[in-house]
């Protein structure tokens, strides 16, 4: 059985990846037989699954909980599917200073944004055939340090570098890894949740934010071309270029102005 595993599939970018891959699967005859859709909300996953023409299995799992990976390992062992693509889109950020973000919230960000994709890739890899793909939804936050998003941005920097090195390691096996690095996306749940804590007001403005559909369309084109890095939009492309040449101190000064506007 040929499957695609998508985390964060109950909404936002993950759900849009599912819808777009489903359309392409039907149009192009890719032979994907099932989507495994992962997030905590079973109800939202079932709603997304109901919009797809390819069969989809909603898996209500918390990816900060080790038991979720035990269950996934057992499912992969029992069903021995061919995992044609893994999309690690589950992620969350909390805005705030060091006293405003609890130990628990910081730990959850690390578990979800950093540990979960590494763990899922390790489980899926034995099942990914030559020609398969891994997608890590990182962020432009990977390109520089972001005060008041420090744990989130450091986690995305980890994910970006991990993805690039993993891609090299897997090149000989014909498996590509793409780090997708969007700038702010305005129509997903991310920004509202990131602002919900006591430090949420530290970032007031999200200028030049893009839209979920355009981000996923551009990202998927890059994934299909096996690009190691996808900057799906002009702002994230410019940010990546600027971060290569400007000192981090200056980039943080610009961020200080932008976040207070
Ligand atoms: N939106 C932006 O501005 C932006 C910019 C750059 C990068 N990104 C990245 O894009 C990815 C997708 O974000 P989004 O914008 O689509 O946000 P979103 O709409 O909030 O979606 C996040 C997804 O992650 C799932 N999730 C959250 N906690 C989870 C957990 N503990 N276990 C399993 N699933 C969990 C959520 O489902 P449940 O709540 O049902 O679990 C949801 O499906 C994230 O990695 C984010 O860091 C977003």
172 CA distance to ligand 1 middle (Å): 31
pTM: 0.98
Residue whose CA lies nearest to ligand 1 atom number 41: 40
From the CA atom positions of the chain, what is the Rg in Å? 18
The finding on whether 39 has its CB within 6 A of some atom of ligand 1 is: yes
Q: Which of 194, 235, 232, 237 is nearest to 216 (CA)?
A: 232
Q: pLDDT band for position 2 (50/70/90)?
A: very high
Cβ atoms of residues 82 and 3 within 8 Å? yes
DSSP 118-130: HHHHHHHGGGPPT
Q: pLDDT per residue over 45-81, tens digit each?
A: 999 999 999 999 999 999 999 999 999 999 999 999 9
Task: Give the architecture (CATH level 2) of 2-260.
Answer: 3-Layer(aba) Sandwich (3.40)
Q: What is the distance between the alpha carbons of residues 159 and 165, in angstroms, rounded to a whole number?
A: 10
Q: What are the domain boundaries of the chain?
A: 2-260
Q: What is the distance between the alpha carbons of residues 132 and 82, in angstroms, rounded to a whole number?
A: 9
């Amino acid at each position: 059985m040929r499957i695609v595993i998508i985390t964060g599939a109950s909404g936002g970018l993950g759900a849009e990846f599912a819808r777009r891959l489903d359309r392409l699967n039907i149009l192009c005859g890719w032979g994907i037989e099932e989507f495994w859709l992962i997030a905590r909300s079973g109800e939202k996953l079932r709603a997304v699954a109901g919009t797809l023409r390819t069969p989809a299995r909603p898996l209500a799992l918390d990816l900060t909980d080790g038991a979720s990976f035990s269950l996934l390992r057992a499912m992969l062992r029992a069903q021995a599917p061919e995992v044609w693509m893994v999309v690690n889109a589950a992620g969350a950020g909390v805005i705030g200073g060091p006293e405003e973000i609890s130990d628990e919230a910081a730990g959850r960000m690390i578990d979800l944004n950093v540990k979960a994709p590494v763990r899922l890739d390790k489980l899926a890899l034995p099942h990914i055939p030559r020609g398969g793909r891994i997608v890590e939804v990182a962020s432009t936050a990977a390109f520089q340090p972001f005060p008041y998003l420090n744990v989130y941005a450091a986690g995305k920097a980890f994910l970006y570098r991990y993805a690039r090195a993993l891609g090299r390691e897997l090149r000989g096996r014909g498996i590509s890894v793409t780090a997708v690095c969007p700038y702010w996306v305005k129509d997903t749940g991310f920004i509202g949740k990131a602002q919900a804590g006591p430090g949420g007001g530290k970032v007031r403005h999200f200028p030049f934010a893009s839209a979920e559909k355009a981000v996923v369309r551009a990202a998927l084109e890059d994934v299909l071309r096996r690009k190691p890095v996808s900057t799906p939009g002009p702002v994230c492309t410019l940010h990546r270029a600027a971060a290569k040449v400007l000192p981090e101190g200056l980039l943080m000064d610009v961020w200080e102005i932008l976040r207070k506007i």
